[in-house]
Amino acid sequence: MNRRISVAIDGPAGAGKSSISKVVAKKLGYLYIDTGAMYRGITWALLNAGISIDDVDAVEAALSKIQLELRVEETGLSVWVNGTDVSQDIRTQYVTSHVSQVAAQKAVRTKLVEMQRHMASAGGVILDGRDIGSIVLPNAELKVYLTASVETRGHRRWLELKDSENISLEEVCRTVAERDAMDMNRKESPLVCVDDAVVVETDHLSIEETVQTLVDLIRKAELGGHHG
């Protein structure tokens, strides 16, 4: 039987990390952990409680009162905050436009990274995010940096949003680029492509092709003897 490894998938907004990871995990019987959903859950909770998200002390004080839970369901992961299912609410443009500011804060990252490492401890996991290969799982047997041009990523995100939100393609591309800049330039755990990551450019790959690329990489890594 193949070894069940830890897989780190990082990359900028809209690169397809979560849709691809979900399918790959299902195919391989791995647990998929969407770490972005956790940052979104905390952001939703802070906004819902009326906390001013740029007040670092207020955010830190509020964190202990936020009970965040990821539940594995038939349909995928759901995100719960203090007993409420917020899986839909965390995807709104309102949460999206605030999440990077929350994710830049050290207290928030410390809390979530600890939860993520705990969830990943048994192996057989795919985590996607911004700092998985660099900070959360630096010893992951496979690290992937999934990316595409900002136009491709903005267009994909716009297709997901256009039926539920009144937003133009240009505006989506602009917010994607802004979020990338914040995520790449922040002091705490910025988005980086680590040296030992395999870069997968998805501009000209279909979902199926990207899934297959990752499945092949994981199968190969499962056979490798290295465990960092």
Binding site for ligand CDP (CB under 6 A): 13-14, 18, 35-36, 39-40, 99-100, 103, 129-131, 179, 183
Alpha-carbon distance 171 to 177, whole Å?
10
Q: Which residue lies nearest ligand CDP, judged by its C-beta?
A: 36
Helix locations, the chain, DSSP H: 17-28, 35-48, 56-63, 93-103, 106-120, 150-161, 169-185, 207-223
Strands of the sheet containing 125-129, edge to edge, are 31-34, 125-129, 6-10, 142-147, 198-201
Residue 199 or residue 223: which is nearer to ligand CDP going by CB? 199
- Say if residue 45 is exposed, middle or buried (CB neighbours under 10 Å; 0-12, 13-18, 19+): buried
**Structure token digits, residue 169:** 């393609």
Alpha-carbon distance 165 to 174, whole Å?
16
Contacts 24+ apart (CB under 8 A), 68-75: 68/38, 68/41, 68/42, 68/112, 68/115, 70/33, 70/34, 70/37, 70/38, 70/119, 72/31
Residue 178 or residue 216: which is nearer to ligand CDP going by CB? 178
Alpha-carbon distance 135 to 129, whole Å?
11
Residue 35 or residue 213: which is nearer to ligand CDP going by CB? 35
Residue 131 or residue 141: which is nearer to ligand CDP going by CB? 131
Least gap, CB of 47 to ligand CDP (angstroms): 14
Least gap, CB of 128 to ligand CDP (angstroms): 7
Residue 115 or residue 222: which is nearer to ligand CDP going by CB? 115
Residue 39 or residue 145: which is nearer to ligand CDP going by CB? 39
Least gap, CB of 223 to ligand CDP (angstroms): 27
Alpha-carbon distance 130 to 183, whole Å?
8
Least gap, CB of 227 to ligand CDP (angstroms): 22
Least gap, CB of 218 to ligand CDP (angstroms): 19
Least gap, CB of 1 to ligand CDP (angstroms): 30
Alpha-carbon distance 18 to 36, whole Å?
9
Least gap, CB of 13 to ligand CDP (angstroms): 4
Residue 171 or residue 222: which is nearer to ligand CDP going by CB? 171
